[in-house]
Amino acid sequence: MKNVISSRVSILILCFACYGKMYSQADSSNQNKTSNASDKVYTSSKKMNETSAKIKEGVEKTVAESKQAVNNIKAAIKIFEPIIRLHRKTENTGTVGIENENNTQSDDASTENVMTNSENQNIEYIPEDKRYNADGSANWGSQNHKEFGCYLDMTSGNIMDDIDAAGNTNSVDVIFTATDYFGSAPMYAFLSPALVKNDIFANYYFRGPSYKDQNIPVRLWEEVNESEIALTNITVTQFDKIKDNKQLAAVIQQTPGFKDRLESRTKLTGKVIAVKTKMGQRKAHGLIYIQEQFGTTGSNAYLKVKIKVSGFDSNGDGQVDAELYGE
């Protein structure tokens, strides 16, 4: 009997051992399957991340190349000579017109062709009024001048007097004054409108036949531009050679000492000054060549000037947007 019981116990032990081994193998197999599945998920996820990174890199590269292409186009845009471009009469109608690519007159302000002095050698320039001259220059008066205004809009080349400027204060970039108030030698000054409005001593630049107290018009303006002005060291020959945005920007970037005013105790004939204005949507970077200076501080004092400003290209076609330079 004992032998029978002993045999049955041995069989039971053997069965449990076999079952345990089978369970262990099954569990191990399940763990291996889970591990394999995890490896596949990890590998798939890694490939997706790598693909996303490549796509992102490609997009960023494309965007960077597009921006560079736009910058290259804008750098090549011709500079804008607003006096020649805007202040011209047509022979037939007497209204301001522009020359198209076929050398015929047009009043379409959206014409993209931009004229330079060299392109106009065979075209008669007829100024619209006495503020502008047949050689493409403008007459920019001091605050005392009887006829020519002292306020200048760089982007349009407009010379404005007190009445004109009162309705277009946010387009005035520079104010020219000449006074003997500061001593024996005349003081010639190019002033930021913001300086004139906000500096309590700015009225001294206006002292003369027209203004003797602090009631200067700019003090009443609601909107004024914060312009910066500096004297460049370029010659008239170099000024004439500037034909595109890149060349003009290089001159401005290399000009030191930009401030809200530029003063001179000596006459300015032959000088070139740089002006920067950036207020909200308005941006004007340009150069003013003082071809000749007439008078000193009296009612006949004025400058004969030529202007070059950065050309703007909002649609990226490589041409100046003429409609931005309307009167």
- For residue range 13-40, what is the model confidence (pLDDT) as tens digits? 444 454 555 544 545 555 555 556 566 6
The DSSP result for 258-299, as a single string, is: -BSEEEESS--TT-EEEEEEEETTEEEEEEEEEEEEE-SSST
What mean pLDDT do residues 134-154 have? 95
Do 88 and 64 lie in one domain? The reply is: no
The DSSP result for 35-99, as a single string, is: HHHHHHHHHHHHHHHHHHHHHHHHHHHHHHHHHHHHHHHHHHSBPB-HHHHHSBB-TTT-SB-EE
- For residue range 94-116, what is the model confidence (pLDDT) as tens digits? 444 433 333 333 333 333 344 44
What mean pLDDT do residues 193-209 have? 94
Residue 274's DSSP bridge partners are: 230, 287
Query: Based on the number of CB atoms within 10 Å of its own CB, is 40 exposed (0-12), middle (13-18) or buried (19 or more)?
Result: exposed
Among the candidates 76, 106, 133, a domain finishes at 76
What mean pLDDT do residues 130-150 have? 95
Do 44 and 160 lie in one domain? The reply is: no
Do 294 and 319 lie in one domain? The reply is: yes
Do 119 and 253 lie in one domain? The reply is: yes
Q: What is the extent of the structural domain holding 126?
A: 82-325
> Is the predicted pLDDT of residue 310 greater than 60, yes or no?
yes
Structure confidence at residue 76 as a pLDDT band (50, 70, 90):
confident
Q: What is the pTM of this model?
A: 0.68
Among the candidates 61, 76, 91, a domain finishes at 76
Q: What is the pLDDT, as a whole number, of residue 326?
A: 43
Q: What is the pLDDT, as a whole number, of residue 89?
A: 77
Do 42 and 190 lie in one domain? The reply is: no
Q: What is the pLDDT, as a whole number, of residue 97?
A: 43
Q: What is the pLDDT, as a whole number, of residue 104?
A: 36
Total number of domains constituting the chain: 2
